[in-house]
Structure 1
Amino acid sequence: MSPLRFLIFIGVLLSGGPIAFGQIPDSCKLNFGTNLAGLADYGTEIPFVDLMRTSRTWYTKSVGDPNDPFNSGFKDEMTFREDGYPTHVPQNVPGSDYPQRVVTIWAITDGWPAGAYTVLWEGDGELSFWGGHKNLKQTGDHRIVFDFPTPKEGILEMTIRRSEKDNPIRNIRVLMPGTESTYQTQPFYDLWLEKLQPFNSVRFMDWGQTNNWGQSGPGDIADDNLVDWAERSQMDHYTWAYNKGVPYEMMVALMNQENIDGWVCVPHTASEDYIRKMARYFRDHLKPDLNITVEYSNEIWNWIFGQTHWTNKYGVEETDAIWPEGTVPFIQRMLDYWTDEFDGELHRTTRVVGVQTGWTDVAERVVRNVDPESFDAVAPTYYFSFNEDGDETLDNLGSAATVADLARFVRQNMTQGVHFIEEVQTIASSLGKTLAFYEGGQHFTPHPFGVEPSYAQALLDIQRDTAMYHLYQEWFSALRSIHQGDEPWLMMNFSFVSARSARYGSWGILESMDQDTDLIPAPKYKAIIEAVQSYKGCEVRTSTAENKWMDSSIVVFPNPASGTVRFSGLEGAFRVAVMDTTGRTLKTTLIHPGDSLDIQDVPHGVVFLKLTDLRTGAVVHRKVVKTN
């Protein structure tokens, strides 16, 4: 074998030193991640091979009722275990002449792969299924198999017909084809991972069921009780498509497996115990080179959400404070606890304050009342859409409205959208903060939201039209033109995979995970992925907390004979991340003065070394070209 040869570039990336103000190239200004869709039985984004995780929360059916309604409505009268499974089935309950069973459903199975499914469970009891399956067989005391040949436009309902009190049914798993032997070690659906692969970061707002967290609905604000860590979503809960969402364990597992950064939202009713232990969990279980962005709840100014009503009631109405200032103590409390838990490691986390993009006064009054030492970035949105005047004109056009009409009104409103973001940038800059966008993309919804518009077909058509691709390109160019500073903006697309809807919005950049884009165009996905690709090779700096440039005193020396590199100028311990040109981490290690870094197992080509001073969080990058 020929000896390894290395070309060492001493400068940061391709320049001779740190990228200074005004020098950051356009391709490096926008760093795209994506929000993940929340779990739902009717969703087309399916991240887990165990489909029980996306099942609907239990409803009930009456045994022997000749009327046989879809839902008898007696769930609240039944008794359940801590993991959400019933203590026994059937149950006699007050108010019903008939014993009750529990049922769940997957109302839309469009995202499911065709094939042979396996159902496993523990306990003594009986399950039954109704829907589009075929050839159902019970092959053991705790195992059922069935074929699901045509999941498109399908449905599946599962009933616990019998569950014995001394050994109740629990731990039901509904497994995708071919995953029975691997679901425990490979819980994520490989097709979903494939579509997610281009992104370097994900936001878990919907995974964590942040909106209305732990509540039965937006109006469920009867008390100001705070929730401790023990009351978080647990791994053994029968479904994760409920009001506490996906457990943090799965968020960390995804980040570590895929080497991607994450963005989490702390529930609005989280206690000190909850916040501190949540921070510790991410601090102690994430790979040390990954960054976790943290935000208090989500959009606590948006009155369709329970967290807004809760923070208003207990931060404003019951304290005689004014809105929105009265909500700030909830934000500050979270930031203080999180900061305390990451003391000495703040380079591993980015603390953001979410703001409303279109209401600058509210944004400023929130941000300026938060301790500037306790957060790192201001988090607005980067949505673009038409305004109410455009909606009115489109409504008058009705079914005659075209994609071109819609695109014209969107373009007319872009200047206003850019202006709103510039105003937020001005606020952030005055505090020495950068921007990190928690959501963004097209926001084509009717006024009022949730009403079927007369121009519905145009709203659906543009989602697959090249006009949408061009609108995204124009919007990204506009954002790059106003970007200031030497920090890339983190841009969290909203959202990942979901079906089109004229009434409620077409949020997914893909309609389904198996979407054939040659047959069904995905212009939003195309535009986003091109932007992600253009960011390749740019410096990856996900933390804005204590992440500052070091001088050029650190020098890298190759040792071709041993396949290692060594360093001079190190003082103290450093974490070294070896990254490819997409910013994905290939390996990490700790080094001390005199240590060498072994990169024999790193593929040939261009790689970047990211050196982080563990004392200060300061960062320096070196470029290495490895050849035979």
Structure 2
Amino acid sequence: MLRKPLKILLILALLLFLLQLGLYLYHEWRKPEPVAPTPSPPIGKVESPVIKQEPLLGINTNEISYNDASIPFIDLFRSANPFQENILRLKAENVTYDANGWPNNLNGGEVGTRFLGELPPDTIPAGEYTVLYDGDGEIRYGNDAVLVNHQPGRDTITLDAGTNERLDASLIIARSNPDDYLRNIRILPPGGICQNNPFQRVADASACSGKTGMYLSFVDHYSSIVFNPDYLDFMKDFGAIRFMPMSGITRNPEAHWQDRPSLDEATWGGTYGARGTPLEVMVDLANRLHKDAWFNIPHAADDDYVREYAAYVRDHLDPELKIYLEYSNEIWNTNFNHGEYTQKKGIEMALGLNAADVGYEYYTIRAREIFAAWEQVFGGRERFVRVLGGWDTRPDFAEKILSYDDTYKQVDALAIAPYFGGNIKGYRETTTVDDVFELTTAEDSYRSLPEVLEKVQKHAELAAKFGVDLLGYEGGQGLVDWATRKPDQHPNPLFFAANRDPRMGELYTEFLNGWGKAGGKLMMLFSAPRICQWYGCWGLKEYIRQPREQAPKYAAVLDFIAQHPASAPTSTPPKPAQNPLATAPRNPDDPVIVWRPAFDPERVFFIENPITLDLLLEGNAWDKRNLFGKWQGRWDDDSLFLTVRVYDSKRVWDSEDPEEDDSVGFLIDTDNSRDAKLDGRKDFHLIFACDRDQVVLAKDSAPLSAAALRSIRFDTRELYDGYVLEAWIPWQALGMKPAIKDRVSVNVEVNDDDDGGTRDGKIAWMAQDKQALTDPKQWGVVLFSGR
């Protein structure tokens, strides 16, 4: 017989083996399915891997400035201050400028700017940088920028921090020919990237192979690379990006669409009101990283600005990405002129005499107008989340703005900015970092972590009461003394040391766990890498290339992301009982989607928000690479333009009945009668088969004449991972003439045959059961919309 200790050892060994086996099987189950290979992109185009996650944690960008330690752009001059700001205090009184801010006539003076300032030495790689420019002129360089070679239109400089261990760089246009003035300055680093890995710098082509793609040098391909690989590598780990700082809306008076930041501007940096990245660039960043996007509309933006902004996002942001829409930023914050603006507008509208209250009320009115305008432009609100900004220490403020005129009914989320660490009087009396942490964690200390989480809990309860989600538009530590003006002023050195202390990472973990436990959803941390200065140490890292082990906040956040799978759902709670929307049954005739008109016949297929086809009606083994799709419709007075993108690993057609082969079916109830069965008169079922030139009428369809069938044109183009159907369906063929606000019921099906014979699977757009295609009341209602 085995001795008792030996039995225990054997049992423990067996348990350990079973545990390891379970972990192995779990990780194998969690592995993503391999995806089909994608074709190589055109030369010069940067191919970004898809990095999609449900956004449990997001990140705020930074304002564009020469001292932005996140270095978002590969062209360093993008972040320089505008020449007009004369930051170098040169003799520039008589200088004139073109529409984009380039000095077109020096008139005996000089102009200059800084493009790097007050940055840690390792923020960018030291070495030789190439300066490209157009025109006839001369550039002088200053601080840590040293000219080593000059050719017309091209200088070579070195950038290397000096003995002060801070990186600063400036330039001066000393001479410029007014007939061909110096312009379009670009400052580009050495090296480049491999085409299929935009997250890593490489020195030369020897680092690239077939798998990583061809070598793209920064100097030759800056216009397509755009973003600093170090910046992309940092941003890729977050689920969403809040563009408020980068967009430059803080204290920005712009009201008209033509006043927005432009791609052609000399720089995107500067002070309040001047800086701002173009919307085109922000959308490009979200698309490349495949991250949800949080946009803030400037406080003074007029209706045309709002609609144009919405239209650009609608047409250019990847339709798979979620949009968070917020009007302005912190209108309650008296440090910003946004609050003064809303107060004046509220008084103009005669909402009352209390300036603060009418400002809050105007904020809700304008926010609802913006939400409604976006809904009109998008033809629905499925793609965006309507966000109302709260005040983290004032749940009463949130209750006021949500309840005013039933604003909560037109809002999806309340967002606050929970910052811990605000006991300024106590911090001024501290002498050690230990004292700072004691105050930051004491339950009776103002804005301590426990107190902040208590306020989060109250906001979560309030959000649940109104039936909206609780989001964090910003959040993290907030150790700052606004009375100081120098980084070495007390208590700033203690604040900096606390941010660099491992205990700060522990507080971030506690903060994020507390946020989730209270019911908070998406948290947009503040912020991308920033230097520590008298105005705070806000960045998760102090500079973009700072090692993880030197940045405890960043390390803690990455650990938190790793421990909380990104695929965890972030479901919206049901509307509460006191919300009348909660108990109102959905009207079956309410539109599910909207068809907008096709004003440009050349651009009607897949230009916005395709709809997913993923309801399995037939088949057992469902693989999205083999049976999946998206569809879309647009219309004009003459035709319906139907597009269906099918993902199918193998196209097969060997049957007389096209429904038994690879094909697409389109069903439409033209009078929207929505009977429980096909009526044989106005319910049409069209089959588009991959191997046929003419549409086929399904046996359960209402009849169509031979001429009507011939008038329906379509094309099925084979792709590497499936095919795409593009069809032109004349309304005359269906015996109808739609108008704006008309409704029809429709459904879309995809049939799949993999091995010959009968079909192996079928998916549809709308279905409650397998009889959906013969039951029009299960179909989706479509509203015909104007622009």
Shorter chain as normaliser: what TM range? Answer: 0.7 to 0.9
Query: Does the 8 Å CA contact 1:349/1:543 hold for their aligned counterparts?
Result: no
Matched to 1:477, the amino acid is: N
Deviations 1:258-281 (A, max 9, x none): 111110111111111111010010
Q: Please state if 1:493 is matched with 2:525.
A: yes
Match of 1:430 in 2: 465
Matched to 2:542, the amino acid is: E
Query: Does the 8 Å CA contact 1:460/1:500 hold for their aligned counterparts?
Result: yes
CA distance in 1 between partners of 2:146 and 2:543 (Å): 24
Match of 1:126 in 2: 138
Shift of 1:565: 3.0
Shift of 1:255: 1.1
Which residue among 77, 85, 88 is the counterpart of 2:105?
A: 88
Q: Please state if 1:36 is matched with 2:61.
A: yes
Identify if the C-alpha distance between structure 1 residues 597 and 526 changes in structure 2 by more than 3 Å, giving closer, same or farther.
farther
Deviations 1:366-416 (A, max 9, x none): 22236444331111123222x43xx32332233586454344447953332
Which residue among 109, 112, 117 is the counterpart of 1:107?
A: 117
Identify if the C-alpha distance between structure 1 residues 394 and 541 changes in structure 2 by more than 3 Å, giving closer, same or farther.
closer
Query: Does the 8 Å CA contact 1:567/1:596 hold for their aligned counterparts?
Result: no
CA distance in 2 between partners of 1:129 and 1:594 (Å): 63
Shift of 1:460: 1.4
Which ranges of structure 1 fall in alignment gaps of 5 or more residues?
1-8, 15-27, 62-68, 92-98, 215-225, 579-586, 599-608, 618-628
| Segments of 4+ moved more than 6 angstroms | 542-547, 549-553, 570-578, 587-591, 611-614
CA RMSD of aligned residues (A): 4.0
Query: Does the 8 Å CA contact 1:44/1:109 hold for their aligned counterparts?
Result: yes
Shift of 1:615: 5.8
Match of 2:366 in 1: 330
Q: Please state if 1:198 is matched with 2:241.
A: no
CA distance in 2 between partners of 1:428 and 1:589 (Å): 45
Which residue among 365, 378, 381 is the counterpart of 1:342?
A: 378
Which residue among 305, 309, 318 is the counterpart of 1:287?
A: 318
Match of 1:241 in 2: 269
Q: Which moved more, 1:226-235 or 1:183-192?
A: 226-235
Query: Does the 8 Å CA contact 2:90/2:112 hold for their aligned counterparts?
Result: no
Identify if the C-alpha distance between structure 1 residues 450 and 595 changes in structure 2 by more than 3 Å, giving closer, same or farther.
farther
Q: Secondary structure at the match of 1:206?
A: helix
Query: Does the 8 Å CA contact 2:55/2:239 hold for their aligned counterparts?
Result: no
Identify if the C-alpha distance between structure 1 residues 554 and 422 changes in structure 2 by more than 3 Å, giving closer, same or farther.
farther
Shift of 1:332: 2.4
Q: Please state if 1:79 is matched with 2:96.
A: yes
Deviations 1:132-186 (A, max 9, x none): 23452112x2111122244751322111122233322221111122310121111
CA distance in 2 between partners of 1:442 and 1:326 (Å): 31
Matched to 1:593, the amino acid is: E
Identify if the C-alpha distance between structure 1 residues 550 and 367 changes in structure 2 by more than 3 Å, giving closer, same or farther.
farther
Alignment of 1:441-520 (within 5 A): 441-446=476-481, 448=483, 454-483=490-519, 489-501=521-533, 503-518=534-549
Query: Does the 8 Å CA contact 1:558/1:566 hold for their aligned counterparts?
Result: no
Match of 1:392 in 2: 425
Matched to 1:121, the amino acid is: Y
Q: Secondary structure at the match of 2:371?
A: helix
CA distance in 2 between partners of 1:428 and 1:597 (Å): 48
CA distance in 2 between partners of 1:588 and 1:511 (Å): 46
CA distance in 2 between partners of 1:301 and 1:392 (Å): 23
Match of 1:232 in 2: 260
Identify if the C-alpha distance between structure 1 residues 269 and 559 changes in structure 2 by more than 3 Å, giving closer, same or farther.
closer
CA distance in 1 between partners of 2:234 and 2:722 (Å): 25
Q: Secondary structure at the match of 1:119?
A: strand
Q: Please state if 1:57 is matched with 2:82.
A: yes
Query: Does the 8 Å CA contact 1:407/1:471 hold for their aligned counterparts?
Result: no
CA distance in 2 between partners of 1:551 and 1:504 (Å): 50
Match of 2:180 in 1: 167
Shift of 1:539: 3.9
Shift of 1:538: 2.4
CA distance in 2 between partners of 1:588 and 1:240 (Å): 42
Q: Please state if 1:142 is matched with 2:177.
A: no
Higher relative contact order (CA 8 A, sep 6+): 1
Identify if the C-alpha distance between structure 1 residues 165 and 255 changes in structure 2 by more than 3 Å, giving closer, same or farther.
same
CA distance in 2 between partners of 1:269 and 1:458 (Å): 39
Highest CA radius of gyration, 1 or 2? 2
Match of 2:246 in 1: 207
Query: Does the 8 Å CA contact 1:127/1:160 hold for their aligned counterparts?
Result: yes
Deviations 1:76-118 (A, max 9, x none): x6432111112212x2xxxxxxx32211113235322212111
Identify if the C-alpha distance between structure 1 residues 176 and 342 changes in structure 2 by more than 3 Å, giving closer, same or farther.
same
Shift of 1:121: 1.4
CA distance in 2 between partners of 1:376 and 1:78 (Å): 50
Query: Does the 8 Å CA contact 1:353/1:379 hold for their aligned counterparts?
Result: yes
Query: Does the 8 Å CA contact 1:279/1:341 hold for their aligned counterparts?
Result: yes
CA distance in 1 between partners of 2:628 and 2:351 (Å): 59
Which residue among 73, 76, 84 is the counterpart of 1:48?
A: 73
Identify if the C-alpha distance between structure 1 residues 378 and 148 changes in structure 2 by more than 3 Å, giving closer, same or farther.
same
Query: Does the 8 Å CA contact 2:54/2:239 hold for their aligned counterparts?
Result: no
Identify if the C-alpha distance between structure 1 residues 360 and 29 changes in structure 2 by more than 3 Å, giving closer, same or farther.
farther
Normalising by structure 1, report the TM-score.
Answer: 0.75
Matched to 1:594, the amino acid is: V
CA distance in 1 between partners of 2:753 and 2:385 (Å): 28
Query: Does the 8 Å CA contact 2:74/2:188 hold for their aligned counterparts?
Result: yes
Alignment of 1:284-323 (within 5 A): 284-316=315-347, 319=350, 321=352, 322=354, 323=357
Q: Secondary structure at the match of 2:334?
A: coil
CA distance in 2 between partners of 1:557 and 1:169 (Å): 66
CA distance in 1 between partners of 2:318 and 2:154 (Å): 37
